[in-house]
Amino acid sequence: MATRTHGTTAVIAVTALAPVSWGTTYAVTTEFLPPDRPLFTALLRALPAGLLLLAVTRVLPRGTWWAKAAVLGALNIGAFFPLLFVAAYRLPGGMAAVVGSAGPLFVVGLSALLLGQRPAPRTLLTGLAAAFGVSLVVLKGAGALDLVGVLAALASTVSMAAGTVLTKRWGRPAGVGPLALTGWQLTAGGLLIAPLALLAEGAPPALDGRAVGGYLYLALANTAVAYWLWFRGIGRLTATQAGFLGPLSPLTAAVVGWAALGQALTPVQTAGMALAFGATVAGQLGGGGAARPFGKTEKNDRKNAMELTVPALRR
């Protein structure tokens, strides 16, 4: 039992590196990349990384997995990346991160619909605590909110939550590892973004050395490696556990801003970080067990009792 718990803790810790890496995206984008090119940035994050992983694994989808890979690629990458950048450009302060921190609640809701998992009150309260903690960290005073930005932030959060739950539901085809699955999704998402970037933003901008370095970091460490760790973790954790790792991204962004960009942290922000991090840890402790499907509890209990009783009567 101790070995199993230690193994789960290790999986959680390694999977957490993905949202921690994503938390560096804002600093890299603002300090290294050309401004006002969200779709081009999303494209260079996804497509080169996907093609690299396809070249490394040399495994292509088969049968229904062509469609499944396209759906997952659209949800986790193709729709999520552009919507996320649109929200970041249009919303003030950290509002996009606040909306995104509601991801665990969307994961819980979609897990109930698609996986038949009953949400516990503790899980819902923990999700609310995580969102409130993140809001204390990133939300600052600002004027009227942009409706398009708010809708884009909500849509990006729902898209990622749906991708997380469907990845858990569909799993992986036999003999296919998480590296190949990651390559399929990044390539599918990148191909979806490519025409949008060309139509909306035109030809790619001229890149200097700093921009090339920034894009290399985003494509390799921030995307190829991070998403491989993420999809690998989803296969070993519950959807709720994976969802509760999401708040680590805005928390990392706040820490990077303080440590590397000289952004001060107030006592309220520090308290919010502690609350959000505590909720993230609580989400792991509360999500380790397998949830029972809706409507099947009593039926399964009777079936298990019969399976134990009938052999005993036969003896």
Contact yes or no for 244/16 (Cβ under 8 A): no
Nearest one of 137, 140, 139 to 265, comparing CA atoms: 137
Determine the 3-state secondary structure of 147 from DSSP.
Answer: helix
Contact yes or no for 91/182 (Cβ under 8 A): no
Q: Report the alpha-carbon distance of residue 276 to residue 282 in Å, rounded.
A: 10
Q: Report the alpha-carbon distance of residue 278 to residue 283 in Å, rounded.
A: 9
Tokens of 115: 């996986």
Model confidence, pTM: 0.79
Residue 265: CB atoms within 10 Å: 15
Determine the 3-state secondary structure of 117 from DSSP.
Answer: strand
| Rounded (10°) CA dihedral 98, 87, 220, 186 | 110
User: What confidence category does residue 283 fall into, taking pLDDT thresholds of 50, 70 and 90?
Assistant: confident
More confident residue, 190 or 267: 190
Q: Report the alpha-carbon distance of residue 272 to residue 152 in Å, rounded.
A: 24
Q: Report the alpha-carbon distance of residue 134 to residue 285 in Å, rounded.
A: 19
| Rounded (10°) CA dihedral 24, 25, 28, 31 | -110
User: What confidence category does residue 278 fall into, taking pLDDT thresholds of 50, 70 and 90?
Assistant: confident
CA torsion sign, 194 to 198 to 203 to 209?
negative
Nearest one of 123, 157, 160, 144 to 279, comparing CA atoms: 123
pLDDT in tens, 241-259: 888 888 888 888 778 878 8
pLDDT in tens, 204-232: 999 999 999 999 999 999 999 999 999 99
Pick the range with the lowest mean pLDDT from 208-222, 276-290, 301-315: 301-315
Report the pLDDT value the prediction gives residue 119, as an integer from 0 to 100: 75
CA torsion sign, 36 to 39 to 45 to 48?
negative
User: What confidence category does residue 295 fall into, taking pLDDT thresholds of 50, 70 and 90?
Assistant: very low
36 pLDDT above the threshold of 50: yes
DSSP track, 11-65: HHHHHHHHHHHHTTHHHHHHHHSPTT-HHHHHHHHHHHHHHHHHHHH-----TTH
